Each structure stands twice: as structure tokens, then as C-alpha cells.
């Protein structure tokens, strides 16, 4: 089954690449015009196109690209001739680092808050947690980011306002400089996971086996952690994975505000300059991440669910 999903995933990725290619083709202008900007003249644009091979018909360019890709050659950026594998690889590493950092804070936090909210549901704690997390998820990311910058960098001066990192920065420095972006992302994703944890657990609390457990006099905490939670994992894992995927593919605004060189920024730059091979490669990476994470969510849901693990 996993093999079948992988093959389907691969076909999906190729479909995504075709859609990306066609959408960028539909955008007005091409790389030669965008790079030369106001300085473009028909002559220089034509020369630039010849140099880049942009004078070929679109289907030839797509097929050339696809063959290269299938042979593991992502090609070079049209704009600055840098190998795309290197370009995308470094940026993807940065994106993963930030996503992992945010996830390490957000996932345990959301689970703990969710379990506690289920435990003390409808109480004052539950309401406060709900209000705070829903407020932070309802505010646009850049707004959350600016508020954090205002207090933690401008007013108190504890943390840097931009995550400007280079090769010379070690792990500790990276973690320090990425604290504000990671906290921003945490504030944005925590509500979704927390609410799902709370809802899934509360949903189960009405079921007969939980009533049985409480009739037996087992403590509330033990009921939730030992009896309800194992059966609630499947929906929670799904939501966690969706949020992880979001942390990887949807953080371009945060990258922008904190000047962090992630893959999202690369893709936006490349779309605006019509650097198709880079757009394609970034799109492939994003689509691949989504497909793999979804697959792993399903596998994890099976592994954590006793009934699915031992079918009759």
C-alpha cells in the first residue's frame, strides 16, 4: 500500500510541475524582461532570450526540464547560472531548521495545553487558553512578528530583530537568532493543534469505556492520559502533520519579516523574476514534503491505533 501511495505521489508531483510551469507561462513577461526591468530594449531582450534558451517553444522547454529532472539534474538558475540543487538545498536546510525549531516548541506545548484544557474544560483555564491561542491564530503572521519585534528587540533589546545568518554562525547562535521567528510560528500554529487535542479527547470522554473507567474510580488525569489519549491520536496526528507541513511550506511571510533566507523567499523571488527552473524545483520540494508528510501521518495513525494495527 505504501508503495502504491509513493507511485501516486510521484505522478502527483509531475502533475504539480506541469501546473506550475503553465501558471508561470501564463504570467505576463519573462525572465529577460523582468531582469532588465526598465532597461530592457527589444534587442537586448532578444539577445538575453537566446542566451537562456527562452526562445524555444514552451513544450520543448518543459520536456527538456522534465528529462533533466528525471535524471536527477535540476539544472541551473536562469538568472545567475547557479546550480539549483545547491541553491534549493541550502535554502531548504534553513527552512527545515526553522520548522523543526518551531515544531519542537509548538507540538509539546499544544499537546500539553490541549490535554489540560480537556481536563479542566469549560473552566477559567480552558477559556483563557482558548482566547489567547485563538487570538494569536487570528492575527496575521506579520502582525504577530512586528509586535514581538517591538517588545523583545526594540524595547527590551533581548533578541535580534532580524535572523541574518551566515555559514560562520554555529548552532547556538542560530538558535538564539531564530527565537523570535520560531515563537511567531508557534503562536500561529499552536491553536489549531491545541483545539484538536482538546476536541478529540472530549469527544472520547462521552464514550462508554471512559464512563466505565470513571465509575471504577480512576483519577481524571489517568483516564485522559492512559485511556482517552491513545484512541485520540489519529486526528491529533493528522492536525500536527498538517501544521508541520505548514511550518515548512507556508512561512514565507515570517521569512520576509525576519530576513531569513528560506525556500519560500527563494520561490517568491523566482516567480517574480520568472526563473522557471527554480520555481519548478522549489515547487517539487514543497509538493514532495506535503505528500511525504501526509503519508507518514497515515502510517503513524495506523501504528498508534490498536484497532487498525490488529485488524480482525
Partner 1 sequence: MSKIKELENLYTQGKLSRRSFLAATTALGVTAAAVPGLGIAPARAAKKGGRLRYGSAHGSTTDSLDPATYENGYTMAVNYSIQNHMGEVDANGAIQPELAQSWEASPDAKKWVFKLRKGVEFHNGKSLEAEDVLASVAHHQGKDTKSPAKSLLKQVKSIKADGKDTIVVELEAGNADFPYIMSDYHIAIKPSKDGKINPTDGIGTGGYVLEKFDPGVRTTFKRNPNYFKSDRANFDEVELISIIDVAARQNALTTGEVDAADRIDLKTVHLLKRKPGINVMETVGFKHYTFPMRTDTAPYDNNDIRLALKYLLKRDEMVKKVLRGHGVAGNDHPISPSNQYHAKDLAQRGYDPDKAKFHLKKAGASNLKVQLSAADAAYPGAVDAAVLYQASAAAAGVEIEVVREPNDGYWSNVWMKKAWGACYWGGRPTEDWMFTTAYAAGGSWNDTFWKHGRFNELLVAARAELDVAKRRTMYYEMQEIVSNDGGVVVPMFANYVFAASDKVAQPSKLAGNWDVDGMKFAERWWFA
Chain positions contacting partner 1, by CB under 8 A = 27-29, 31-45, 47-48, 50-51, 77, 79-82, 87, 146, 149, 153-154, 157, 160-162, 164, 166-167, 256-259, 261, 265-266, 269-270, 272-273, 275, 278
Instruction: Select 76 or 305, whichever has its Cβ closest to partner 1.
Output: 76
Residue 27 CB, shortest distance to partner 1, in Å, is 7
Residue 86 CB, shortest distance to partner 1, in Å, is 11
Instruction: Select 4 or 38, whichever has its Cβ closest to partner 1.
Output: 38
> Cα–Cα–Cα angle for 109, 111, 117, nearest 5°?
100
Contacts of 236 (CB under 8 A, 6+ apart): 111, 114, 193, 196, 197, 200
Grid look-up 539549483 returns 84
CA distances from 247 to 109, 141, 197, 300 (A): 15, 12, 19, 19
Instruction: Select 36 or 303, whichever has its Cβ closest to partner 1.
Output: 36
Measured between alpha carbons, how far is 214 from 222 in angstroms, rounded to an integer?
10
Residue 151 CB, shortest distance to partner 1, in Å, is 12
Buried b (16+ CB within 10 A) or exposed e, 228-265: bbebbbbebbbbbbbbbbbbbbbbbbbbbbbebbbbbb
Residue 275 CB, shortest distance to partner 1, in Å, is 5
Residue 190 CB, shortest distance to partner 1, in Å, is 24
Instruction: Select 114 or 277, whichever has its Cβ closest to partner 1.
Output: 277
Instruction: Select 66 or 268, whichever has its Cβ closest to partner 1.
Output: 268
Measured between alpha carbons, how far is 99 from 262 in angstroms, rounded to an integer?
10
Residue 76 has phi, psi (to 5 degrees) of -120, 155
Residue 141 CB, shortest distance to partner 1, in Å, is 13
Instruction: Select 136 or 275, whichever has its Cβ closest to partner 1.
Output: 275
C-alpha cell at 270: 523566482
Amino acid at each position: 500500500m505504501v508503495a502504491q501511495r509513493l507511485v501516486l505521489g510521484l505522478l502527483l508531483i509531475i502533475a504539480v510541475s506541469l501546473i506550475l510551469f503553465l501558471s508561470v507561462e501564463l504570467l505576463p513577461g519573462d525572465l529577460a524582461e523582468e531582469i532588465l526591468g526598465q532597461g530592457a530594449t527589444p534587442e537586448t531582450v532578444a539577445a538575453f532570450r537566446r542566451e537562456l534558451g527562452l526562445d524555444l517553444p514552451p513544450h520543448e522547454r518543459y520536456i527538456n526540464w522534465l528529462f533533466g529532472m528525471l535524471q536527477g539534474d535540476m539544472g541551473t538558475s536562469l538568472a545567475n547560472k547557479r546550480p539549483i540543487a545547491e541553491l534549493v538545498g541550502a535554502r531548504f536546510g534553513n527552512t527545515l531548521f526553522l520548522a523543526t525549531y518551531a515544531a519542537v516548541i509548538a507540538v509539546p506545548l499544544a499537546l500539553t495545553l490541549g490535554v489540560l484544557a480537556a481536563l479542566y474544560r469549560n473552566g477559567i483555564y480552558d477559556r483563557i487558553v482558548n482566547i489567547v491561542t485563538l487570538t494569536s491564530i487570528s492575527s496575521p503572521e506579520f502582525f504577530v512578528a512586528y509586535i514581538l519585534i517591538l517588545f523583545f528587540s526594540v524595547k527590551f533589546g533581548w533578541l535580534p530583530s532580524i535572523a541574518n545568518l551566515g555559514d560562520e554562525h554555529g548552532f547556538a547562535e542560530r538558535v538564539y537568532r531564530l527565537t523570535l521567528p520560531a515563537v511567531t510560528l508557534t503562536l500561529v500554529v499552536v491553536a489549531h493543534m491545541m483545539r484538536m487535542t482538546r476536541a478529540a479527547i472530549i469527544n472520547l470522554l462521552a464514550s462508554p469505556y471512559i464512563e466505565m473507567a470513571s465509575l471504577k474510580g480512576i483519577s481524571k488525569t489517568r483516564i485522559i492520559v492512559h485511556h482517552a489519549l491513545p484512541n485520540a491520536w489519529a486526528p491529533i496526528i493528522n492536525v500536527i502533520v498538517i501544521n508541520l507541513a505548514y511550518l515548512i511550506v507556508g512561512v514565507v511571510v515570517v521569512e520576509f519579516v525576519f530576513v531569513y533566507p528560506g525556500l519560500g523567499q527563494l520561490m517568491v523571488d523566482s516567480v517574480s523574476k520568472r526563473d522557471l527552473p527554480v520555481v519548478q524545483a522549489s515547487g517539487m520540494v514543497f509538493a514532495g514534503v506535503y505528500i511525504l508528510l501526509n503519508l507518514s501521518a497515515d502510517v503513524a495513525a495506523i501504528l498508534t491505533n490498536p484497532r487498525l494495527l490488529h485488524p480482525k
